[in-house]
Amino acid sequence: MNTIVLDPCQCHQQVFASNYARPEYYFRHLHGHTMAIDKFTIRSELASRCGAYPVGRGLVFMSDNLETLEMTRPFHKFTAEDYQHWRAKRMKDPRPLRPFEPVAFFEFDDRRSITVDIDYKRPCRYIMVKPTGFRSKPHHFR
């Protein structure tokens, strides 16, 4: 079993923040090797620090190239219910999962860290975390 910890701040006490409305976080093996991930752990603060709004929920994608990860826009605003509905429908499709389709959904409760199983396990070179919601909504956010 392989677990990956998706925490850009794990080694530092600095906050990683983005000023983009729809950030995406990309990860790859340090040496460019293919990874086989069974589950992942992601951490997010409980409240805003330095004006940044902590990730509350999101999707995980796995691919062998970055180009296919650019095609993830249809999943942009998925909630847990949207993901479960999509997943139930997708399980009826006999075709293999496409590289731009999500492999997992996560949603924080009152914990700073969660570990989530990958729903569709497959080897990959890149992992993308696409936040789809915040723990608290900014007043000026649309």
Name which CATH class applies to 22-43+53-134: mainly beta
Task: Calculate the CA 22 to chain-centre distance.
Answer: 12
Q: Average per-residue pLDDT in the chain?
A: 82
Give the mean model confidence (pLDDT) for residues 27-47: 86
Residue with tokens 């949603």: 107
CB 117 within 8 A of CB 104: yes
Structure tokens at 67: 């180009």
**Per-residue model confidence (pLDDT) at position 87:** 96
Rounded Cα distance, 109 and 131, in Å: 15
pLDDT tens-digit map of 100-138: 999 999 999 888 889 999 999 989 999 999 999 887 655
Task: Calculate the CA 79 to chain-centre distance.
Answer: 12
**Per-residue model confidence (pLDDT) at position 47:** 74
User: Rounded to 5 degrees, what are φ and ψ at 105?
Assistant: -125, 145
Beta carbons within 8 Å of 35's beta carbon, 6+ residues apart: 2, 4, 29, 123, 124, 125, 127
CB 97 within 8 A of CB 90: yes
Per-residue pLDDT band at 8 (split at 50, 70, 90): very low
**Per-residue model confidence (pLDDT) at position 12:** 47
pLDDT tens-digit map of 43-90: 887 777 666 678 889 999 999 999 999 999 999 889 999 999 999 999
Q: Which amino acid is at 81?
A: E
Q: Where are the beta strands (DSSP E) in the chain?
A: 3-6, 25-28, 35-36, 39-43, 55-63, 104-107, 113-117, 123-124, 126-134
Read off the DSSP letter of residue 49.
B
